[in-house]
Amino acid sequence: MRVLVTGGAGYIGSVTVAELLRAGHEVTVYDNLSHGYAQAVPRGVELIRGEVADRETLDTVFRSHGIEAVMHFAALVEAGESMQVPERYFRNNTASTLTLLEAMLAAGVKRLVFSSTAALYGEPETIPIRESDALKPTNVYGESKLLVERMLSWFHRIHDLRYASLRYFNAAGATREFGEAHQPESHLVPLILQVALGQRKDIAIYGTDYPTRDGTCIRDYIHVVDLADAHILALGALERDGQLIYNLGNGRGFSVREVIDVARRVTGHPIPAVEAARRPGDPAVLVASSEKIKRELGWQPRFAELETIVRSAWEWLQGHPRGYAGASATERSA
């Protein structure tokens, strides 16, 4: 299948592109490189630099490349930032996705796998969180993605758009070729590992008075390859199903302090930690039930242990201490 991957030069997108290629699909990457890297696009895959809000360019890509399906990763993802500049998130994540959907309809492309988020649930009423639970985001990032899910539901009803919405919990880990290299970095696992690498003095713990076992936030971590596998399964399932909504997580929660302790064991570094105030919009606990996608699509995480996830990220970071900076496009992995 000919698949357009928006945000395919980013962290999750690049790993998914590599897995799509292994599964025999033809892939085109569409990315503005604001948070992605040309060096993260696997060798032989065409990278088109463009904005998701650019309808004219999208129309050209759909027309010239015979695109049959879209995987949509392109988005701003920082919950804290979204509470400071909400307008950026509604324009980039919500309004731009509407432009993409319009271009898909105009080209007759009716299959979409959407990168959604567990932030849709806000403060969950029950743990683990199920897909049928209430959607009450506590930050603008989550709201911007929820608005997209609502659009997708209406487009499915009215235009017969076939879509899968995959609600991630905390993506982490790496492959030999591709890893997490945000600038600036804001995700917990790479931030902790940067301390072990000597790039940071310490790791901040934002909030120590949450109603959890050690007072710090609890999150569900999922390996990026397991995420990619779920996307490919969902793409195949759209051949027979028109509307799919799944949580993607391990079903196990780890506190910030526990993640730091695992990283200390993996790296052998003391990793100093300092306590800081809570960040606005951070729920205390986010842990997924992924039983639905396991039952319906047969998905099974291959790298479920937190130590395995952290170790893979550590191995990649040791080999790429500056991320993709300084690497040439010819150094992409095959």
Encode pLDDT of 51-73 as tens digits: 999 999 999 999 999 999 999 99
User: What b-and-e string marks burial along 196-215, b requiring 16 or more CB atoms within 10 Å of the CB?
Assistant: beeebeebebbbbebebeeb
Beta carbons of 54 and 8 less than 8 angstroms apart: no
Residue 329 is predicted with a pLDDT of: 41
Give how far Cα 274 sits from Cα of 186, 277, 279, 310, Å. Answer: 16, 10, 14, 20
Banded model confidence at residue 280, pLDDT cuts 50, 70, 90: confident
Confidence class for position 332, pLDDT limits 50, 70, 90: very low
Centroid of chain to Cα 134 = 21
Is pLDDT at 334 greater than 50 in this prediction? no
Among 37, 89, 141, 163, the one annotated catalytic: 141
Where do runs of H (alpha helix) occur along the chain? 11-22, 55-65, 79-82, 86-89, 96-107, 140-159, 188-196, 224-237, 256-267, 291-297, 306-319
pLDDT of the residue at 246: 98
Would residue 141 show up in a list of annotated catalytic residues for this protein? Answer: yes
Q: Model confidence over 31-52: pLDDT tens digits?
A: 999 999 999 999 999 999 999 9
**pLDDT confidence band for 186 (50 / 70 / 90):** confident
How would you class 96 by CB atoms within 10 Å of its CB: exposed for 0-12, middle for 13-18, buried for 19 or more?
Answer: buried
Number of Cβ within 10 Å of residue 83's Cβ equals 17
pLDDT band at 188 (very low <50, low <70, confident <90, very high): very high
Domain 2-324 carries which CATH code?
3.40.50.720
CA distances from 117 to 13, 140, 142, 169 (A): 14, 12, 7, 7
